[in-house]
Structure 1
């Protein structure tokens, strides 16, 4: 066979192959055809739970300084331990402009969380926003080390969604990292004992119920705080991923009692240890109870290799609001 004949035969075979492939694709139809890579990959925040019981991992917040067209511009990247200072920052849009319009979530336009990398120090702050979009709040961090600053907010707009952006904060001074407290189902703070019941599992929404007692007696007159009888923040050890937690019920809905139980729905993004910080208000003061839990097991059941005494003290930090400190 001469070269020209070989080329002609090869072209015919190639055309036949493409024709067969096209026929298979046409028979399968668009419903059975694989989606383009950009569609099949999807976005972790929009992937719904699967009908077969498997679930995509829910997104964890606070791991990025920029997301969804917004950036956390932390203007105070360094502080000194034990010294009262001021944290200043702005939320910037895709054009670099400071955002000045936010939706109110849990009675606030923005929630600011500060946590040390060892999770021994925790602050829940409510900074004030100036007209130019600059946020600021006083703070005194007792221990040196690396901290993570979380800005939890929802920009104003019809398609806006809640975001949690994170940035690093360095606190200078003598540094000695603290060990993570062992898992426990109880925590104590200022004469209050809080018991945790529930599970925390990867990819599955779970109910977490906290029962508050004072001097052994159930507290039945909790006061509303940030639109509910409690506010819960969950942080993953290692990378300090921020979990979005939603309260179950609200004051005044005719079904939610002011204690002694406060419940939430939370979803762990993966198997790990987590630190839970519950803020609750009673007798005019906000207090914080802290817990260590492991996802994938009952929150009240410590691992066999790490026995717990069933009692955990609150972290040695404070709860600060606008210009004030709620000490522990």
Structure 2
């Protein structure tokens, strides 16, 4: 009997432990800031323990002057100060601070004239209830095993050892159950992105708050500018105020979206474009410097994201008028940049490709390889009256198949709290592609922006979009199945004489691929391979069927797992 008990105990000790997945504490936070004459990227590195260090990197771009920035943090714990000395060469310069409590903090970046105030959240490493059950189960199992060994070796009645053995088995059963559940348990609402951060949810995200809600979205924001009339050729600090559309209160719950709190676009009367990142100076109040070279009207829009809500595009109803003498002209693109613009038709996707230089030396800017800004169709009212404002992104190559992985950011997007490559990585390009569906015919003014050698280059271009031909709506039934990453099988009825193309769209990131032709495999059956589904998440497979009866678009939601 003792031999049986000892053999069972040895088996329990040799059982491979089941490890639980731990929810990510979040990655680094990148925030672009237009601080005076400097265009900076401020990176707050992940805080791995509280109390612990907070490392701050400040990345400068070409033309940024040398100097010293004073850093300070304030929040629920002890305030701390430090400084960063910026060199004349563009690059990354770091400083260290210390945080000693969880909660909502604020980083102040002071250049001696202006102070940028960046909110951030420090959270404790969350441990889910199933993961706690894993630790408790193995603890109980370990104690019971030791007790069983003592009882089995010293007691005259060896069957008594079965009591702690039963406890050990129960403990391991609880631990294994917890490990299995921990892989499927959804994360709680994330403080600072889905809900407001407070002392409770940043110390334990799994504490349930009452009442429980499933909709964390916020109301639209309104934007006002001051002043709205300025003199040309003079630098003016423009104040931007955000208020809640439902309450009128200041909007002070912005989160970093595409590496900035606000992406501000200013369009001038002669084809100039500014892509700025205002600094937060007070709750709901931001500021940015602006020097307007020519007299005329300047249209302004802001792209932002609030806690719990999606991205909002807020356009200024007033814009800014400049009065005075005019100097300068339109921007001239670098000589080694060549842009290919297809023949666009309204309502149909097309891909613009910029070939930048000849080497793979582009750097990610604002989390993406390239940015496309466009306004139109342009009429008498210019950009202020244009119904369509575009801010599209590129991840690399031609975006029409898996071949785009060469020189692109495919496979390098952040998952599970990891951080994406930052601007210090110059390894992408030289092709930068943007796929977009212009909804209205007409002429659009557009600009492509990329970064290389720490310099943001702006490439102006004009896009003409033809009117869509009048066709009758088809009568096709489409079923799409994702059979493998990048491979889609389609059932199309009727299919005689039909041309079928497929496009991949990820609504949460604003990414859209080019159209990929589908190949007929059998009557009514089509197959697409090489569809660039480059990251896990919710995707839409957009199938377009064209034949003599008309054109049909069918959208099929799919989930891509890692």
TM-score (norm 2): 0.36
The 1-side partners of 2:280 and 2:223 are apart by: 14
Do structure 1's residue 69 and structure 2's residue 233 form an aligned pair?
no
Matches of residues 111-260 of structure 1 in structure 2 within 5 Å?
111-116=263-268, 118-157=269-308, 159-167=309-317, 168-174=319-325, 189-213=333-357, 218-236=358-376, 237-238=378-379, 239-249=385-395, 252-254=409-411, 258-260=428-430
The 2-side partners of 1:154 and 1:225 are apart by: 18
Are the structure 2 counterparts of residues 244 and 156 from structure 1 closer, same or farther at C-alpha, using a change threshold of 3 Å?
A: farther
How far has the Cα of 1:86 moved from its partner? Answer: 1.3
The 2-side partners of 1:99 and 1:242 are apart by: 25
Partner in structure 1 of residue 242 of structure 2: 91
Comparing both structures, which one devotes a greater share of its residues to helix?
A: 2
The 2-side partners of 1:96 and 1:203 are apart by: 37
Q: Does structure 2 conserve the Cα–Cα contact (< 8 Å) formed by 1:188 and 1:194?
A: no
Partner in structure 2 of residue 184 of structure 1: none
Are the structure 2 counterparts of residues 242 and 76 from structure 1 closer, same or farther at C-alpha, using a change threshold of 3 Å?
A: farther
Partner in structure 1 of residue 232 of structure 2: 81
Equivalences, count: 217
Structure 1 unmatched ranges of 5 or more: 1-67, 182-186, 298-328
Q: Secondary structure at the match of 1:292?
A: strand
Are the structure 2 counterparts of residues 207 and 255 from structure 1 closer, same or farther at C-alpha, using a change threshold of 3 Å?
A: farther
Are the structure 2 counterparts of residues 205 and 102 from structure 1 closer, same or farther at C-alpha, using a change threshold of 3 Å?
A: farther
The 2-side partners of 1:87 and 1:192 are apart by: 35
How far has the Cα of 1:175 moved from its partner? Answer: 6.4
How far has the Cα of 1:242 moved from its partner? Answer: 4.2
Residue of structure 1 aligned with 2:445, choices 272, 275, 284: 275
The 1-side partners of 2:349 and 2:222 are apart by: 28
Q: Does structure 1 conserve the Cα–Cα contact (< 8 Å) formed by 2:409 and 2:428?
A: no
TM-score (norm 1): 0.59
Q: Does structure 2 conserve the Cα–Cα contact (< 8 Å) formed by 1:200 and 1:266?
A: no
How far has the Cα of 1:161 moved from its partner? Answer: 3.9
Are the structure 2 counterparts of residues 224 and 69 from structure 1 closer, same or farther at C-alpha, using a change threshold of 3 Å?
A: closer
Structure 2 unmatched ranges of 5 or more: 1-218, 380-384, 397-407, 414-426, 468-562
Q: Does structure 2 conserve the Cα–Cα contact (< 8 Å) formed by 1:115 and 1:122?
A: yes
Which digits, 9 at most, give the CA deviation of each residue in 1:11-69, with x for residues without a partner?
xxxxxxxxxxxxxxxxxxxxxxxxxxxxxxxxxxxxxxxxxxxxxxxxxxxxxxxxx63
